[in-house]
Amino acid sequence: MSFKKNSRLNLDVTHRCPLECLRCARQDKDQNGNSIKTPGRDITMEEFDKISTYFDRIQFCGQYSDPIHHPHFIDMLKMIKEKGKISQVHNASSFKSDEYFIEAFKANPDTQWWFGIDGLPKHSHKYRKNQDGEKQFKRLLLAKEHLNKLPIWQMILFSYNENDLDECMKMADEVGVIFNLINSSRWYKDDGSDPLIPKGKEKLRIEEQTFNPKVAVMQ
């Protein structure tokens, strides 16, 4: 029996993340209001070897974790490079050193990196609790120095940052990175009462995601 190769996989490689983003599923509570333990474990290198053989494109996502906190993440990037595969990294955690990030960038310079910084760097922690947004912005600039692809500044629109949108877009243009705007649907209530819901620019949309010019909006 033969199997057709799939082209793409969105993958959480670990269960670890030091951030406490306010609408992340990691913050879900049970019916008694107690925190629910995040399930999962670290993917082994043997498992990742099989995955990276089968899939041509691997996106390291951050739905329940941040990929940089897998103990062998840099080795995974090297493996992808050796196999000639394509990869993307979604990162929001700032809990690694500059040296670590530089080593990760150099492990596979062809990887596309997305940095979650929600609003002005000094305000990003208002949603991404425990994040040092200004340090994360520094990593965005470091990535530009070491990667072959422009890094992406990914911003989720919230009530606290909507009035800073133009300034953030200007900052991204000035430093020469791609700006990616996301309209979230992770609200506690559907009646519009969630205090994080943006009030004025929540309907901002474009029909197709585009990276030329260096601005994109995703839903």
115-172 pLDDT, tens per residue?
Answer: 999 999 999 999 999 999 999 999 999 999 999 999 999 999 999 999 999 999 999 9
- In 165-188, which positions are buried (b, 16+ CB within 10 angstroms) versus exposed (e)? beebbebbeeeebbbbbeebeeee
pLDDT over 70 at 1, yes or no: no
pLDDT at 100 over 50: yes
Indicate the pairing of strand 152-156 with strand 112-116.
Answer: parallel
pTM for the structure as a whole? 0.87
Q: Are 182 and 194 in contact (CB under 8 A)?
A: no
Is 98 within the bounds of a domain?
yes
Residue 197 lies in a domain: no
Instruction: Tell me the CATH number at 125.
Output: 3.20.20.70
Q: Is residue 146 part of a domain?
A: yes
| Residue 83 lies in domain | 8-157
Task: Kindly state whether residue 202 falls inside one of the protein's structural domains.
Answer: no
**Residue 45 pLDDT:** 98
Q: Do the beta carbons of residue 206 and residue 212 sit within 8 Å?
A: no
The answer to whether residue 144 is domain-embedded is yes
- Considering the domain boundaries, does residue 23 fall inside one? yes
The answer on pLDDT for 185 being more than 50 is yes
Reply yes or no on whether the pLDDT at 217 is more than 50.
Answer: no
**Sheet with 152-156: strands ordered across:** 8-11, 57-60, 86-91, 112-116, 152-156, 178-182, 215-218
At 25 the pLDDT is 84
218 pLDDT band, cuts 50/70/90, is very low
**The pLDDT of residue 169:** 97
CA of 79: how far to CAs of 57, 103, 133, 210, in Å? 13, 14, 30, 29
Query: What is the reported pLDDT for 188?
Result: 79
Is there a domain that residue 165 lies in?
no
Calculate the average pLDDT of the chain: 87
- Band of residue 208 on the pLDDT scale cut at 50, 70, 90: very low
- Distance separating alpha carbons of residues 169 and 167, to the nearest angstrom: 5
- Residue 201 in any domain: the answer is no
- State both tokens at 22: 């306010």
Distance in angstroms (rounded) separating the CA atoms of residues 193 and 205: 21
Count how many domains the chain has: 1
